[in-house]
Amino acid sequence: MKKLILSLSLMLSLSSCNSQNIGNILKQANDVLVGNANGVLTTDEIGRGLKEALTVGIKNSSSKASALDGYLGNQSIKLLFPPEAQNVEQKLRQIGLGAECDKFITALNRGAEKAAAKAVPIFVDAITQMTIQDALGILKGEKDAATNYLKRTSTTALTAAFAPVIEESINATGATRLYGDIANTYNKIPFTKKVNPDLKQYATQKAIDGLFLLVAQEEQKIRENPAARVTDLLKKVFANQ
């Protein structure tokens, strides 16, 4: 459609212009088509703008998550007892072992907070690999399109990086031993649903889920709140959605 309009405009203009103006008209038409006209984004600007947006978002998210109480103090991402063990927690609290449950939960979240510091270089690598097609799809996509892109491209690497950090942390605090004892004892009770004693797998996945939730929140800020667009390029790209 853009090319058709430009062609018609050129035909009308050329019929009334002298040869000196023809070159200017052709240049203006080309500027629009390649995106160099005022207010029109080039594909390069879109790509660079979205990479800036993602970099800002992941740095903010990782900083929040890796801070003390980044997970523990945020009810949206706080790690709790695994769902299949919540009835175990309830019984422990009923018999006066609430403090032990709290220690266990704190240990889980400290592990997640420590692991979150490993996220930035992994995300940056995924951003570096982004193609212009990826960028255009994100700009025109849903409000969480950038977050979903990072999920697709980063989850495997995040899991590999998070798992050993979380394992080390929850081993050091005794959370692994405590949970293993709880799970194995509970699993001996007849006619009960068995509890998975693999705490590392659960904690790793929940830590990654929480980090992506923070990334999604940062993406929403950048899309909807002009004040969150901290560079001129971000302002230009997201003003033209």
* Cα(98)–Cα(148) distance, integer angstroms: 38
Task: Specify whether the CB–CB gap between 6 and 32 falls below 8 A.
Answer: yes
Who's near 16: CB < 8 A, 6+ residues apart?
A: none
Q: Assess whether pLDDT exceeds 90 at residue 43.
A: no
Tens of pLDDT, residue by residue over 133-167, are: 888 888 788 889 989 999 999 999 999 999 999 99
* Confidence band of 40 (pLDDT split at 50, 70, 90): low
User: Which amino acid belongs to residue 212?
Assistant: F
Q: Assess whether pLDDT exceeds 90 at residue 22.
A: no
Question: Which pLDDT belongs to residue 123?
Answer: 94
* Confidence band of 113 (pLDDT split at 50, 70, 90): very high
Which among 41, 7, 70 has a CA at the least distance from the CA of 213?
Answer: 70
* Cα(133)–Cα(181) distance, integer angstroms: 50
| 64 CA to centre of own chain | 13
Who's near 137: CB < 8 A, 6+ residues apart?
A: 145, 149
* Domain ranges, ordered by start, for the chain: 1-40, 43-239
* Confidence band of 206 (pLDDT split at 50, 70, 90): very high
Q: 10 Å Cβ neighbour count for 174?
A: 14
Task: Specify whether the CB–CB gap between 43 and 35 falls below 8 A.
Answer: yes
Residue 5: what are its φ and ψ, rounded to 5°? Answer: -60, -45
Residue 67: what are its φ and ψ, rounded to 5°? Answer: -70, 160
* Cα(108)–Cα(4) distance, integer angstroms: 61
Task: Specify whether the CB–CB gap between 82 and 195 falls below 8 A.
Answer: yes
Region 5-31: mean pLDDT is 38
Question: What angle (nearest 5°) sits at the alpha carbon of residue 209, between those of residues 141 and 142?
Answer: 10
Question: What angle (nearest 5°) sits at the alpha carbon of residue 151, between those of residues 148 and 156?
Answer: 165
**Mean of the per-residue pLDDT values for the chain?**
77
Tens of pLDDT, residue by residue over 72-96, are: 999 999 999 988 788 888 877 888 8
